[in-house]
Amino acid sequence: MEYQSETGRLNILGFWIFIGAEFALFSTLFAAYFVLINRTAGYITPGELFDLKLVLIMTFLLLTSSFTCGMAVHEMRNHNVKRMMIWLAITLLLGLGFVGYEIYEFVHYASEGATLSTSAYWSAFFVLLGTHGLHVSIGIIWIIGIMIQIKKRGLTPKTSSKVFVSSLYWHFLDVVWIFIFTGVYLLGMVS
Amino acid sequence: MNLRWDEFIVTGDPLILGAQISIVLVSIALVFGLTYFKKWGWLWRDWITSVDHKKIGIMYIIAALLMLFRGGVDALLMRIQLAAPEMEFLSAQHYNEIFTTHGTIMIIFMAMPFLIGLMNVVVPLQIGARDVAFPFLNNLSFWTFFVGAMLFNISFVVGGSPSAGWTSYVPMAGNELSPGPGQNYYLLGLQISGIGTLLTGINFIVTILKMRTKGMTLFRMPMFTWTTLITSLIITFAFPVLTVSLALMTFDRLFGTHFFTLADGGMPMLWANLFWIWGHPEVYIVILPAFGIFSEIITTFARKTLFGYKAMVGSVVIISCLSFLVWVHHFYTMGSGAAVNSFFSITTMMISIPTGVKIFNWLFTMYKGRISFKQPMLWSIAFIPNFVIGGVTGVMLAMAAADYQYHNTYFLVSHFHYVLIAGTVFACFAGLVFWYPKMFGHKLNEKIGQWAFWLFMIGFNVCFFPQYFLGLDGMPRRTFSYLPEEGWFSLNFISTVGAFVMGLGFLIFVYNVYYSFRHSARETSGDCWGSGRTLEWATSSAIPPFYNFAVLPEVRTIDPYWHMKEDGQESQKEEDYKPIHMPSNTGLGFIMSVFLGISGFGLVFEWYWIGLVGVILTFACMIYRSFQQDDGYYVPVEKIKETERHASV
Ligand code: HEM
Ligand SMILES: [Cu+2]
């Protein structure tokens, strides 16, 4: 369906390459994070702050949203626009929940004395997670835009390739989160 | 940042005052001229909003030539300051600013855009495509590059220039040692133009993979297309690293993070590593397309197929992989340890093997060819010995132990100018002259062009060869003044003379553009050198029509156009014409880039609300674009017939 039109095909390949670039971007952020991982300069450490319950909720929200997003694409291929829209809406709500918890988390850490400028470690932490969170937020706005377009124009080869591309993006953010979950949170709590 | 008015505009230096006055005068003249000749509409409709890859390419090249001029003036100012001991032409701070802007502009805003411009003009034609895969994105790429470049360029009159070198090592580039907006200009100018470069990379990968005409398999692609493909891959994986590094330093400077600071756990070496993980591949981004250009020109003017085509492709691929594994050779002396240094020393030396393969292949291509020594060929032949000098001294630098001796001396300065100028700049000139008739419908005058070539080439050697000896005599790079006792005077003086000879060569080149516009014969055939081998020469006219090919060609061999001519089937029949689908022009790329530029300007001065408004408006444009329904339009057969007839007189 999404591969029907020539532009659709080009866009999808282009988007895969873009994801390659995003991959390089997040790798660099991770590299910076791991280089600075012990550099708390005697200030508050991640072990003192991280809270497993909160992180598990966030992980649950984002992983589920990836699943519902997949359902949306599945329904799109069955030409069931209404169900697709519903799954997309659920995806967005889960995404919003995730962003909400992340904001709460950041505010909480700040109140405990861990901000961007506390130490190299926290700079790396906030920039890495902030970048991911920003990507999720942009994804939300983007998918809302696509939903409006589908409401107005229906499911065409063009709009369907947009749905597909945005779902790729959404899954990608999920994958990045899994790295964050293990590399940042689990490792931070162990040490 | 709280700035007083008189700090906002840079004052107190006669050179800069002169520059300010001339900027104002030139701007007034431009506005006046455009209004007087009623050219605003033409500029907007035919150029600014154009999505035609050839026009975008031309705009890239013009911008790059302007930057070459600016960077060249910087270079001459430095050379004047160094011409004699204890000169008082520039102050130390001013010298620092100038070598920083010179290096940055030459690499980011001159060499790379020049090559991207040539890619834009040539690659879609070479693969027999109507346009690039994402024409709107292409327009956007150009404008983000342009706006980024302009943002960087105004630094010397508004607010002050960066002065921490083009490598911006911390702590030099940190808040304590580089206060004020200068370093911010570096960070944001590069950031904004970097977006455009990344988009270009993605665009060309998709274009080359998906838009090739029938029969154009990967191993029938011309070398320039191959190098463009590989370069685009390097761009896609290297530029995000730059994006992140710049963003982290911006955060350090504006929001008090501690990535690279000395205090609170920051790590200055992290910057050096991140910068060169991008920076070394960047060097290959500007050399590989140059190799591609030389390959095209050498085969065309030797009238032979490229010797060892597959080996050429293979060596490009190997070079590109190795380019990600050598970055530490830029800072052996910063204490990475012997084992690390040895590893990077070996990987670096390995690069000389595939490069050597290429050199021999070019020589074998010329061997027994009927060579015609026209301007493009002269630049290409001159490239080989000069580049080899640069390459050999590069291998000397690659030895970690020896590097402790040469590092940060003029030996290094000479080495990288030999590779960058003999490699990239010669290729830019060669490619420009070679494809000039394709772009503008007439050749550059041969005689004037040869003058420009010889002056530039000889001036270049006079300028940089003595610098190897200055380096061995211990003259450090980035020195703004020296004492008579040090005995560096005569070599420095010769070097400065050489620099001016090069400058003269450049001016003659520019004059040639004007002269040829007035006096050169107009081209009537597409194959204007008479020995074109690849598809760009098969387009129907000297200035290819905006849809490139009336009928898309079919390819059966390497060097398809050469074989078409041999089989006598280069002309297309009118019966075969079908309506052609083309994208429509749009001003959105320009508008978006201007918003990004405003945002960047705000952030340079830490006026956050301007920064924020600019970013929001940029996003608004993106949303608008996503909602826009514009599927382009069809060019009717009648129109094609008319265009083709008109083109072939
Ligand atoms: C047109 C003739 C040119 C002349 C006379 C020239 C001259 C110079 C001089 C005097 C320096 C300063 C050396 C120092 O004090 O350490 C320099 C640095 C540099 N040049 Fe050139 N240059 C020329 C062209 C180019 C070109 C075409 C490129 C790149 C494509 C280039 C790239 C650089 C770089 C990267 C630096 C190092 C800047 C830094 O240390 O931050 N130059 N050049
Ligand atoms: Cu290098």
Q: Is residue B5 scored above 90 in pLDDT?
A: no
* pLDDT value of residue B6: 65
Residues B542-549 have a mean pLDDT of 81
What is the rounded CA–CA span in Å between residue B96 and residue A155? 58
Which ligand 1 atom sits nearest the alpha carbon of residue B463? 5
Residues A47-74 have a mean pLDDT of 94
Whether residues B266 and A141 touch (CB distance < 8 A) is answered with: no
Centre of ligand 2 to C-alpha A21, Å, is 21
Rounded (to 5) percent helix, strand, coil in chain B: 70, 0, 25
Q: What is the DSSP letter of A117?
A: T
Residue range A5-46, pLDDT digits in tens: 777 889 999 999 999 999 999 999 999 999 999 899 889 999
Bond prior to B484 in cis (omega within 30° of 0): no
Whether residues B626 and A146 touch (CB distance < 8 A) is answered with: yes
Residues B79-86 have a mean pLDDT of 95
* pLDDT value of residue B111: 97
* pLDDT value of residue B649: 45
Whether residues A24 and B236 touch (CB distance < 8 A) is answered with: yes
* pLDDT value of residue B551: 87
Q: Is residue B402 scored above 50 in pLDDT?
A: yes
Could you tell me which residue, B5 or B330, shows the higher pLDDT?
A: B330
Q: At what angle do helices A6-35 and A120-153 cross, to 10 degrees?
A: 160
* Count of CA atoms in the C-beta half-sphere (13 A) of B602: 15
* pLDDT value of residue B369: 85
Residue range B315-329, pLDDT digits in tens: 999 999 998 888 888
Residues B437-449 have a mean pLDDT of 93
Q: Which H/E stretch holds residue B225? A: helix B223-255
Share of chain A above pLDDT 90, in %: 82
| Residue in B closest to A29 by C-alpha | B244
Residues B408-425 have a mean pLDDT of 95
Whether residues A145 and B264 touch (CB distance < 8 A) is answered with: no
* Count of CA atoms in the C-beta half-sphere (13 A) of B81: 22
Residues with a CB atom less than 6 Å from ligand 1: B 72, 75, 78-79, 99-100, 102-103, 106-107, 111, 165-166, 413, 417, 420-421, 424-425, 463, 477-478, 499, 502
Q: How far is B61 from chain A (nearest CA, A)?
A: 25
Q: Looking at the CA of B328, which ligand is closest?
A: 2
Could you tell me which residue, A138 or B15, shows the higher pLDDT?
A: A138
What is the rounded CA–CA span in Å between residue B422 and residue B438? 24
Residues A128-154 have a mean pLDDT of 95
Whether residues A116 and B256 touch (CB distance < 8 A) is answered with: yes
What is the rounded CA–CA span in Å between residue B54 and residue B107? 23
Which ligand 1 atom sits nearest the alpha carbon of residue B82? 10
B133 CB neighbours in chain A (<8 A) are 10, 14
* pLDDT value of residue B2: 61
Centre of ligand 1 to C-alpha B617, Å, is 37
Q: What is the mean pLDDT of chain B?
A: 92
Residues B458-484 have a mean pLDDT of 95
Selecting from A18, A119, A153 the residue whose C-beta is nearest the C-beta of B258 gives A119
Residue range B242-272, pLDDT digits in tens: 999 999 999 999 999 999 998 899 999 999 9
Q: Is residue B19 scored above 90 in pLDDT?
A: no
User: Phi first, then psi: what are they for B272, rounded to 5°?
Assistant: -55, -45
Who contacts A142 (Cβ-Cβ below 8 Å, separation ≥6)?
A166, A169, B626
pTM (2 d.p.): 0.95
Token pair listed for B305? 């197929």
Q: Looking at the CA of B326, which ligand is closest?
A: 2
Residue B613 exposed, middle or buried by CB count within 10 Å (0-12, 13-18, 19+): middle
Q: Is residue B102 scored above 70 in pLDDT?
A: yes
Whether residues A25 and B243 touch (CB distance < 8 A) is answered with: yes
Size of interface A-B (CB pairs under 8 A): 113
The region, left, alpha or beta by phi > 0 then psi within -120 to 50, assigned to residue B385 is alpha
* Contact in structure between A105 and A54 (CB atoms under 8 Å): yes
Q: How far is A30 from chain B (nearest CA, A)?
A: 11
Centre of ligand 1 to C-alpha B475, Å, is 15
Pocket test for ligand 1, best of B67, B93, B106 (most atoms within 8 A of CB): B106
Residues of B with CB under 8 A from a CB of A: 133-134, 198, 201-203, 205-206, 209-210, 236-241, 243-245, 247-248, 251-252, 255-259, 261, 263-267, 270, 274, 277, 619, 623, 626-627, 629
Minimum mean pLDDT among A56-70, A163-177, B57-71, B400-414: which range?
Answer: B400-414
* pLDDT value of residue B379: 97
Bridge partners of B442, per DSSP, are B522
Selecting from A35, A119, A127 the residue whose C-beta is nearest the C-beta of B264 gives A119
Q: At A95, which amino acid appears? A: G
Q: How far is B131 from chain A (nearest CA, A)?
A: 13
* Contact in structure between A24 and B241 (CB atoms under 8 Å): yes
* pLDDT value of residue B541: 64
Q: Is residue B648 scored above 80 in pLDDT?
A: no
